[in-house]
Structure 1
Amino acid sequence: MLDVTLLFRIAAVGILTIIIDKILKSSGKDDFAVVTNIAGIVILLLMVINLISKLFDAVKTMFQL
């Protein structure tokens, strides 16, 4: 079952990334803003990959004889 706290974590990472991006862009550090965006995307992808791995393990145990 999907845990609600995981959705809140994903949303928190997205909001935090947006806030840091806006702060860095307003201070003229666009390069660091891009790096921050990439880091946020990587963190979110790792969270989703973990979920997909758990899904495949569940399907594997369901069809195992």
Structure 2
Amino acid sequence: MLDFSVIFKIGGVGILIAILDKVLKSIGREEYATLSNILGIVLILFMVIQLIGDLFNTIKTMFQL
């Protein structure tokens, strides 16, 4: 069963990155805004990769591989 806390974490990171992006662009720091967006995407990708690893472990256990 999917743990909904992971979905909320991903959503929270997305909201934080969006706010940070708007603030940095409004003060003229577009390069830092782009960097923060890339770091946010990488952070979310690490979360998703961990979930995929758990899925593969569950499948391996289920089929006794």
Tell me the TM-score range normalised by the shorter chain: over 0.9
One-letter identity of the residue aligned with 1:60: K
Identity across the alignment (%): 55
Cα-Cα RMSD: 0.9
Q: Which runs of 5+ in 1 are unaligned?
A: none
Q: TM-score, normalised by structure 1?
A: 0.96
Over 3 Å off, 4+ runs? none
Q: TM-score, normalised by structure 2?
A: 0.96
Q: Which runs of 5+ in 2 are unaligned?
A: none
Please show how residues 1-65 of structure 1 align to structure 2 within 5 Å: 1-64=1-64
Tell me how many residue pairs correspond in the alignment: 65
